[in-house]
Amino acid sequence: MSAALFKRIWRGVSGEDEALDATSPDHRTREVLLAALPQGATFGVVKASIDRAGAKGYRKLTGEHLDD
């Protein structure tokens, strides 16, 4: 899910179909690290969203409140 979302974001921002490969000698380290920022942020937001939805679903089904 996060990979597909990131690909859409990356394509919109860079105009390229694929993100930079971290091991590619064709790009500078700075370029690769800057490209990794939105990928990490996208993964983090998707993971937090899924975790949050799971916790809400659990509470709704069980009536139990988890510590936030």
The pTM of the full predicted model, rounded to 2 decimals, is 0.65
- Of the pLDDT bands very low, low, confident and very high (cuts 50, 70, 90), residue 50 is very high
Q: What is the mean pLDDT of residues 2-13?
A: 81
Q: Which tokens is 67 given?
A: 């510590």
In the block, tokens 């990979």 appear at 3
The band of 35, judged by pLDDT with boundaries at 50, 70 and 90, is confident
List the structure tokens of 44. 């983090």
Residue found under tokens 């179909």: 17
- When pLDDT is averaged across residues 7-13 and rounded to a whole number, the result is 81
* Residue 66 binned pLDDT confidence (cut-offs 50, 70, 90): low
